[in-house]
Chain A
Amino acid sequence: MGYNCVVLVKQVPDTKRISGKVMNDDGTVNRSALPAIFNPEDLNAIETALQIKDKFTGRLVVISMGPPSAAAILRESLFRGADETILISDPGCAASDTLATSYILSCAVKKLDYDIVLCGRQAIDGDTAQVGPQLAEKLGITQISYVEELTELVGRTITVRRNIGNGWQQVKASLPVLLTVTSDANEPRVAAAKKMMKYKNALTPIEAEQKIKSENPQANSSEVKKLVERKCGELKEKGLLIKHWNLNDISADMTWCGQSGSPTKVHRIQSVVLAAKQSKEIQPTDEGIADMIHELIEDKTIA
């Protein structure tokens, strides 16, 4: 038999490697200062799904909601062993908070056949850890968050160990379940060279269109349309088509998407300015250090 896994992944700005100004003068986030990467714990979620697939067989579908450029992490998912990838991209997704995002993702996942849904514990841009549990609620399935080990999978029963902050707990549940996976769960495998050779040419229909347009600058729109259709047909045949779903494709109700579907709004965003404190430079000499320690004892900082 085997298990069908769906993994939700996100392309995120690399908040740990920030170059230049994070905020534009108009208060928006300067995304160009932030290189885009595969959200780290989503790789652990994929690895868990791959281990299930390796051991029991089954199908692994990877879904990402984001701008067309998020296709990059779906290609990376193919390099690692995903069977199918789907990009959910639609202008109506813009400005979605976690509630709207989980609604949109739930509409997509409901179209698929799944036993286990997996997410990274949290994404490094927002660190909220909310989309996983909210998606589980929308799907009406059991959630197990902070999973640090997949212990056992027997028939329709899964046993995992989850982190509970000051220790761990081992829990058992019936499928289907949604797991959010932490970085302690495993060491994500590197991309397989063979798969990389094959899937580096995988494209979304949007990317295929861009490619056709740049290769055929003279073509009119109906010619482009025809060429894109043909190209997508070829890609699909070779298993190189990254599916693109818009909100219509997943039958999403627009009132629960984007701005209108998001109860939380931004009141204000401030750049963190680290005010220089009144500071004293201490010479790294015996006297300098002795004076400093003396001062700290005098003002009772050191008891």
Chain B
Amino acid sequence: MIDVNRQGEVWVFAEQHNGKLEDTPLELMSKARRLADTLGVKLAAVLLGSDIKDLTIKLIQFGADKVYVVKHPLLQSYQTNSYAKVMLDLIHKHKPQIVLYGATVTGRDLAPRIASAAKAGLTADCTDLQIGDHKTAKDKKLHKNLLFQIRPAFGGNIIATIINLDRWPQMATVREGVMPMPEPDVTRQGEIVTENITITPEDLPLEILAEHKRPKKVDLKAARIIVAGGAGVGSRENFKLIWDLANCLGAAPAASRAAVDLGFIDRDHQVGQTGTTVRPSLYIAVGISGAIQHQAGMSQSQKIVAINNDPNAPIFQVAHYKIIGDLNGIVPKMIKTIKEKSIKEEMAINPVEALRLSNEVKV
């Protein structure tokens, strides 16, 4: 634990594996940049690893003023102990006021180990971060410029704002996909600070025997349009409707947890509290009742179309377009309409073809 340090920097743990940065710390940079600006302090990325040469520039382009680099052959692969040891050494040396981690498997494995050793606070899976003031109820003392760590709890039914008054650093992990990725600024300049920390084989209690990367079958976060099916779709066979609609829209197929649990589609496609958080231009929810856990992962979509035969389905509360009725009738109609529209559009693009057709009509 470190004392309250108003001059302390804002830190982001720059998670990388095999020389490639994860998305989440990069997504975090724009928010962390704003926090640092509000507090009038520097934003630093903390980069640990072995083969990490090109990553410092990238972190600066994404908003860091400074990058602390700890390069060591024994840091090649992530291990809880070695990474926690390095982070703790750096925290005690530089006394940052805020340390943020992506809520990836690695972030969620590492941050609590650090928090426990530092006897500092940690809030998991934040969906937003702000700077604000807090008055303690007992002594009416005003604590200015604290990190508001905002997260859903009780399965998404409540939103809690958590603070850490005086057992700093203020630490949080931040959910994947809830913050938009900033645009890199290639002209940005920053400082690179190389740190030497002793690491011995005793700091590596694990032997990594094998590792298998499984590329995600679908990138929901990058999709502009998402077509998601729920338990209401009825079967894995009938889920073809979702794939078909997604195909004709160039959309990504997705699902509620219920549909995934029923085996209609692979877990990579799951949207919601325990799946991926998405914010596409268009989200079409088919046969999804819209439990609060599902809404937590998609309510930020710009336009939402909901199809459900239950007029009281909660999904309708967040929908811009509600269609009450049988999805087995409605989805094929949508596919047909979209296909017709896209044929007309093609004609518009191809004037010769369009002319020929219109001539035929004249004849």
Near A by CB (< 8 A), chain B positions 63-111 give 80-81, 84, 104-106, 108-109, 111
Nearest-neighbour CB distance to chain A for B267, whole angstroms, equals: 10
Instruction: Say yes or no: A293 contacts B124, CB within 8 Å.
Output: no
B160 close to chain A: CB less than 8 A: yes
Instruction: Say yes or no: B211 contacts A29, CB within 8 Å.
Output: no
Near A by CB (< 8 A), chain B positions 308-363 give 314, 316-326, 329-330, 333-334, 337-338, 341
For B304, list chain A residues within 8 Å (CB). Answer: 277
Near A by CB (< 8 A), chain B positions 277-331 give 281-282, 291-293, 295, 299, 302-305, 314, 316-326, 329-330
A225 close to chain B: CB less than 8 A: no
Given contacts A267-B148, A281-B324, contact A274 B162 (CB under 8 A): no
Nearest-neighbour CB distance to chain A for B347, whole angstroms, equals: 14
For B81, list chain A residues within 8 Å (CB). Answer: 142
Among the listed B104, B206, B282, which residue makes an inter-chain contact with A165, where contact means beta carbons less than 8 Å apart? B104
Nearest-neighbour CB distance to chain B for A185, whole angstroms, equals: 15
Nearest-neighbour CB distance to chain B for A122, whole angstroms, equals: 8
Instruction: Say yes or no: A264 contacts B163, CB within 8 Å.
Output: yes
Once bound together, how far apart are the Cα atoms of A283 and B291, in whole Å? Answer: 24
A284 (CB) vs chain B CBs: closest residue: B325
For B295, list chain A residues within 8 Å (CB). Answer: 274
Per-position binary interface string of chain A over residues 127-160, scored 1 when its CB falls under 8 Å from any chain B CB and 0 otherwise = 1111111101110001111100000000000010
Near B by CB (< 8 A), chain A positions 53-93 give none
Instruction: Say yes or no: A277 contacts B109, CB within 8 Å.
Output: no
Instruction: Say yes or no: A267 contacts B115, CB within 8 Å.
Output: no
For A292, list chain B residues within 8 Å (CB). Answer: 305, 321, 323
Of B116, B159, B293, most A-chain CB atoms within 10 Å: B116
B57 close to chain A: CB less than 8 A: no
Given contacts A172-B206, A173-B206, A293-B334, contact A146 B158 (CB under 8 A): no
B180 close to chain A: CB less than 8 A: no
Once bound together, how far apart are the Cα atoms of A292 and B284, in whole Å? Answer: 12
Chain A interface, >50% SS class: mixed
Given contacts A142-B205, A145-B105, A171-B208, contact A264 B123 (CB under 8 A): yes
Instruction: Say yes or no: A134 contacts B115, CB within 8 Å.
Output: yes
Among the listed B121, B146, B337, B338, which residue makes an inter-chain contact with A99, where contact means beta carbons less than 8 Å apart? B121
For A168, list chain B residues within 8 Å (CB). Answer: 211-212, 214
Among the listed A98, A125, A144, A268, which residue makes an inter-chain contact with B122, where contact means beta carbons less than 8 Å apart? A98
Instruction: Say yes or no: A164 contacts B158, CB within 8 Å.
Output: no
Given contacts A165-B104, A173-B207, A292-B305, contact A284 B326 (CB under 8 A): yes
Instruction: Say yes or no: B153 contacts A125, CB within 8 Å.
Output: yes
B132 (CB) vs chain A CBs: closest residue: A267
Instruction: Say yes or no: B321 contacts A302, CB within 8 Å.
Output: no
Nearest-neighbour CB distance to chain B for A294, whole angstroms, equals: 7
Per-position binary interface string of chain A over residues 253-285, scored 1 when its CB falls under 8 Å from any chain B CB and 0 otherwise = 000000000111111111110101111111110
Q: Among A15-23, A191-199, A208-216, A241-249, which stretch is in contact with chain B? A: A15-23
Near A by CB (< 8 A), chain B positions 98-145 give 104-106, 108-109, 111-113, 115-117, 119-125, 132, 134
Among the listed A144, A166, A272, A284, which residue makes an inter-chain contact with B213, where contact means beta carbons less than 8 Å apart? A166
For B213, list chain A residues within 8 Å (CB). Answer: 166-167
Of A34, A167, A266, A302, most B-chain CB atoms within 10 Å: A302
Given contacts A130-B124, A144-B206, A164-B106, contact A18 B157 (CB under 8 A): yes
Near B by CB (< 8 A), chain A positions 83-117 give 97-99, 102
21 contacting pairs across A/B (C-beta < 8 A): A127-B155, A137-B112, A138-B116, A146-B105, A165-B106, A166-B215, A167-B211, A171-B209, A263-B164, A264-B162, A264-B164, A265-B165, A266-B161, A267-B162, A268-B160, A274-B299, A276-B317, A277-B319, A279-B320, A283-B323, A289-B323
Given A142-B206, A264-B121, A265-B163, 4 more contacts at CB 8 Å? A143-B80, A170-B208, A265-B162, A280-B321
8 tightest CB-CB pairs across the interface, nearest first? A15-B155, A263-B121, A284-B325, A263-B167, A128-B124, A137-B116, A134-B116, A133-B112
Q: Which residues of B contact A (CB under 8 A)?
A: 1, 80-81, 84, 104-106, 108-109, 111-113, 115-117, 119-125, 132, 134, 146, 148-149, 152-167, 205-216, 224-225, 249-250, 273-274, 281-282, 291-293, 295, 299, 302-305, 314, 316-326, 329-330, 333-334, 337-338, 341
